Amino acid sequence: MTALLYLLGVAIFVLAIAVSIGLHELGHLVPAKRFGRKVTQYFIGFGPTLWSFRRGETEYGVKAIPLGGYVKIVGMLPPGQEGELRSTNTGMFTQLISDSRKAEMELVGPNDGDRLFYQMPWWKKVVVMAGGPTVNLAIAFVIFAGLFALHGIPHVDAAPGRPVVAHVSECVIPFTEEGRECGPSDPIAPANEAGLRPGDVITSFNGTEVSDWDQLRTMIRDNADGTAVIGYERDGQQLSGTTSTTVEARPASDTDESLVQVGFLGVSPTTYTWYEKGGLLFTLEQMWGMTKETVVALAHLPVKVWDVAQAIVGLEERKADSPVSIVGGGRIAGEATAHEEIATTEKAVFLLQLIAGFNFFIGMFNFLPLLPLDGGHIASALWEALRRGFARLRGRPDPGYVDAAKLLPVAYVVAVCFLVMGVVLIIGDLVVPIHLTST
């Protein structure tokens, strides 16, 4: 049964991502056709064709490698200067550009002269290229809106009233190394030294009566490395322990992850979970926060992938917050579905969050202003609008269309880099996978 549930989770995730890819490509296909452009192919996947059919001038189908999709819009590359296509060129990049122009023009029929992509106004180009990633963001928004309205965002807070100890640290481990076992060189935690145990109710700190966890945490942090006399209740008996807090680097607050030097005791309280629900505006606020976090994550993506590569060869352990591929997402989905201690409702919520998260990241990633991503074509269209606008203001001749073919060498380098990163993440998800328990 566990194996079947695991496979079910993987299948649901893979199917959802495949549907998302198909809808992404429809986001390009529909406006391109509405604007009268010639579209010859619409495929989900890459590699050998598994199944296809033709309707009108467009071939629709599925390919063997389900790691993306594409829509072939004819005329992405304009011809060379004065419409010429030179048959011979010197230089690798010059030949590459010329060959690409020839391949593009081979798809142009005698009646397609005014149906080419590069001939469109800049704003139509933006609509066509932004359609795909916008669909992914819309999918994420719909899923998140439903989850936030019906289920809510879980928050874990300390139980109200005097703090009841849930966990006592055995030793002092730096915050950046949390999760590892205590070593012989790690000092004993002050709370452990004071004799505190799970279930104890802390009643006072240095003679001041404690009413709740927030008050106690503030006093501990402000105590630096000073003496700490802790009053607590155990099995109805009033007891006391004396120790000295130690100064450690810890997050400034629950919402500020920057590290500051504060007093540390080594105790955590019992908690309870509550759910914050909201409507469409609440969803937009949450997704705006996700946007800022994703921008930071994209900026650090090459470094994160390098860390995964080092984990693959055994130079370091794979971090729980490292990026994952679709393969890793499928594994996590399978583990969540097969987990015996997770309720069915929570499994469904987790899968939906995972699917929405992948769609959100795919949408944001494709908006990067780099060819061959959608964002690179959007940037080219905006640049075309700017330089044509400046030319009109200055009374100069129209500079014409932006020649994306000249950026092909850069696009190929970027594509190779993304391909390498994708391969590294897939290998990492197979060799050193992130498990549900480590996320």
Residues annotated catalytic, as ranges: 25
Tokens at 341, concatenated = 């201690």
The pair of structure tokens assigned to 173 is 């481990």
Residue 388 CA to residue 382 CA, distance in Å, equals 10
Whether the bond into 372 is cis, omega within 30 of 0: yes
Angle at 231 between CA 225 and CA 235, to 5 degrees: 140
- For residues 328 and 308, the answer to whether their CB atoms sit within 8 Å is no
Which among 50, 52, 48, 101 is positioned nearest to 78, based on CA atoms? 101
Buried b (16+ CB within 10 A) or exposed e, 327-340: bbbbbbbbbbbbbe
What's the CA gap between 179 and 304, in Å, rounded?
19
Please calculate the CA angle 162-164-166 and round it to the nearest 5 degrees: 155
End-to-end CA distance of the chain: 24
**What distance in Å separates the CA atoms of residue 20 and residue 14, rounded to the nearest whole number?**
10
Length of the chain measured in residues: 439
Residue with tokens 């504060």: 262
Residue for token pair 């470094």: 303
| Residue 392, amino acid | R
Contacts of 149 (CB under 8 A, 6+ apart): 277, 278, 279
- Rounded Cα–Cα distance for residues 412 and 418 (Å): 10
What's the CA gap between 357 and 351, in Å, rounded? 10
Would you tell me the crossing angle of helices 326-338 and 408-431 to the nearest 10 degrees?
Answer: 30
